[in-house]
Amino acid sequence: MTVEDVADYLAKPRSWVYGNWRREQIPFRKVGQSLRCRPVDLDRWLDEQGAE
């Protein structure tokens, strides 16, 4: 998933995702100059957010 895909999925602005992905520990990986996230990793991350 691209940053835009993640932003849509989370119902957040793209700027929020860019500004917070490290602090929030959204499971992105750098692919060249781009950030990418696997859907299964994002779902796991979301599940962990509810446990806190």
For the stretch 11-43, pLDDT in tens is 999 999 999 999 999 999 999 999 999 999 999
How many structural domains are present in the chain? 1
> Token pair for residue 22?
């490290």
Domain region containing 46: 3-51
**Whether pLDDT at 5 is above 60:** yes
- Please, are residues 47 and 10 in contact by the beta-carbon 8 Å criterion? no
The answer to whether 25 and 33 are in contact (CB under 8 A) is no
pTM of the model: 0.88
For residue 28, give the amino acid letter. Answer: F
Is 4's pLDDT higher than 80? yes
Any idea which residue has 């957010």 for tokens? Answer: 49
Give me the half-sphere count of Cα atoms (radius 13 Å) on the Cβ side of residue 39.
3
Does 2 have pLDDT greater than 60? Answer: yes
